[in-house]
Structures are given as structure tokens and as C-alpha cells.
Amino acid sequence: MARDLTIAVCQTGPIQKSAQRAKTVDRLIALLERAAAAGAEIAVFPELALTTFFPRWRIDDQADIEAFFEPAMPGPQTQRLYDAAARLKIGFALGYAELTRVDGGRFNTMDLVGQDGTLVGRYRKIHVPGSSEPEPGTTVHLERRYFEPGNLGFPVFVYRGVRVGMAICNDRRWPETYRMLCLNGAEIVLIGYNTPLLLDEAPALAHLRMFHNHLPMQAGAYQNTVWVAAAAKAGVEDGQALIGGSCIIAPTGEIAAQAMSLDDEVIVHRADLDLIAVCRKVNFDFASYRRPDQYRLIADQV
Ligand code: CDT
């Protein structure tokens, strides 16, 4: 019997610092409703989808920093989104800033929520880019000030019988991300991102920003025979332009659907999971051809 999963990518426009959390959750619920109405069974939202991308600022006041974090998920402000998932019978992956209850750890996190509105699994961003202090000549990107590197590995979760993994923004540029998820059995990789349109350190590469968005995700999908669905937070957010280009990519490496706006937008595609086996057979029969004994450096050397 044919296997498929209908995926929605819920891109958002900018979420300004002045936005109330409740209004932002309203926007996410509206996107989820559009995704469900289009027949989607799972949706992916951007990285840090509840707030502005606050690592663009150096913040010292701990209370100001913690205002961007979620000490509980769902919490009083986000419960309605989980209720909407259960009502609409559509799960989602949501990026947010996680403050752990036990030891106050801070992670850039994505949760996978099931069609009953309960947690299926959690991923914490492994490749945390930027610095902890502003660096001269470089776009301020202080994720390392606010987040520890993820400590949950690259887990894969079963969602409606389909094996789903997650990755967050800069993770999508690293081949290791897809390979680890693929080796863990992923069939679909859900990604959220916030990517500045311009980088002060590389103005000569400005025209390549969208190419360098899609290139690693298409390569990751193709080389690991997985579906990739990636949601941007796009548009001008608190004065910084973020790229859009949210997309759904097939295991062939082809873009099956792509957002056209820099605003709230839903794109949907029915992902044919049998295509994975076809692509495997053509080029990537791992059991026959992979040579892990020759790849030791990949794991041993930074
Ligand atoms: N959010 C995120 O990871 N953004 C990075 C930009 C890093 S610029 C120092 C990205 O890879 O898109």
C-alpha cells in the first residue's frame, strides 16, 4: 500500500518585539487552520516562532532575556495552539526558546506535537552559530550568548507511522545533520529558520543568500533520501531583513513547493514516502555501498 504524509510549511512574516505573545499565538493558530483546511496532517513553524529573533541584540538584563524564553511548554500563552492541534487533528513542529525547569538551561528548541496535541518529541539545536559578544565588522548574531548547544543528539520520532526528525536553522547547512537523522531512520526532516538577508562580513555573497538557503537542504534531501520541509520567519523584523524561501523538498532534491511571500503563508505538499526507496535504490543503497571504516575522520576531527 502506498505511504504518504501531507505536509504544511507555515512560514511567518516578522514577529516584532512589540508583538504580544497572545497575538503571535493567534497568528500561528490561523496558519494551522489554513494548513488543516488544505488537508495537511503535519505542519512546521519557524525557529523561535513565538518571539522576535532576539539574538540580534546584546542584552544584559536577565529578566529581559528570560522574557523571550518559555519555562513550560505548553504554557499559559501557548496552550491554545496545542488545543487547536487536537481540535484540527494536525500535529506541528514549533521552534521556541526553552528554559529548562530543573537547572535553568537555555536551548534553541523545536518540539514535535502530535495530532492529539501532546508532545511527541524534542530537539535542541546542535549547531549554535554566531558569538557571545558582538564582533567588529560582523552582523551581530549572539546565539552563543543565550543558548547552550543541544544535548539530545539527532532523535527521530514516529508520527502517524512516519519517522520524523527535526533541525533548526544553521543545522540545515551541515551535512552531518541530515546524515545523522537519515542513519537514525528519518523519512522527513522538519526545519525552522531565521536567516538575515545581509551579512556585514560577506557583502560580496549577498546575491547568494537564497541559493545558499536551498542548496544544502536540496543536497541533504537528495544524498540522504529524505523529504525536507523548512519554514522561514521572513520579512523585516525589528529593522533586520530575514529571507523567506520556505519550501518542501523531495528525496530527488527537487523543490516540490515554495513560499512566494515574506509574510504569513502556508504551502502544502503530499509527500510520497515510497519515493524514498526509489531514490535509495538508484544511488544510495547504504548497506551495499557505504564505507564507514573509511569515514573515521568525520567523527573524530572537528
Ligand atoms: N538562526 C540561525 O541559525 N541563523 C544562521 C545565521 C548565522 S549568521 C552568523 C543561519 O545559518 O541562517
**Tens-digit pLDDT profile for residues 170-182:** 999 999 999 999 9
pLDDT at 295 over 90: yes
The per-residue pLDDT for range 21-67, each reduced to its tens digit, is 999 999 999 999 999 999 999 999 999 999 999 999 999 999 999 99
The maximal CA–CA distance of the chain, rounded, in angstroms, is 57
State the amino acid at position 62 in one-letter form. Q
Is 90 exceeded by the pLDDT of residue 1? no
Residue nearest to atom 3 of ligand 1 (CA): 170
Average of pLDDT values for 216-223? 99
Q: What is the pLDDT of residue 148?
A: 98
Q: Which atom of ligand 1 is nearest to the CA of 53?
A: 1
Mean per-residue pLDDT over the chain, rounded: 98
**What pLDDT digit, counting tens, does each position of 232-287 carry?**
999 999 999 999 999 999 999 999 999 999 999 999 999 999 999 999 999 999 99
Packed helices 175-183 and 209-224: angle between N→C axes, nearest 10 degrees? 30
Q: How far is the CA of 168 from the centre of ligand 1 (A)?
A: 9
Instruction: Indicate which CATH number applies to the domain containing 250.
Output: 3.60.110.10
d(CA 38, CA 22): 24
Question: Which DSSP helix (H) or strand (E) runs through 175?
Answer: helix 175-183
Answer whether 0.85 is exceeded by the pTM.
yes
**Arithmetic mean of pLDDT, 89-111:** 96
Which residue minimizes the CA distance to atom 9 of ligand 1? 130
Q: Backbone phi, then psi, for 134, in 5-degree steps?
A: -55, 140
Share of the chain above pLDDT 90, in %: 98
Interacting residues of 129 by C-beta distance below 8 A, sequence separation 6+: 141, 143, 144, 169, 170
Residue 59: which domain range? 4-300
Which residues have C-beta atoms less than 6 Å from ligand 1?
Answer: 47, 129-130, 141, 169-170, 173, 193-195
Cis, bond preceding 55 (omega within 30 deg of 0): no
Total domain count for the chain? 1
Q: Residue 292 has what pLDDT?
A: 97
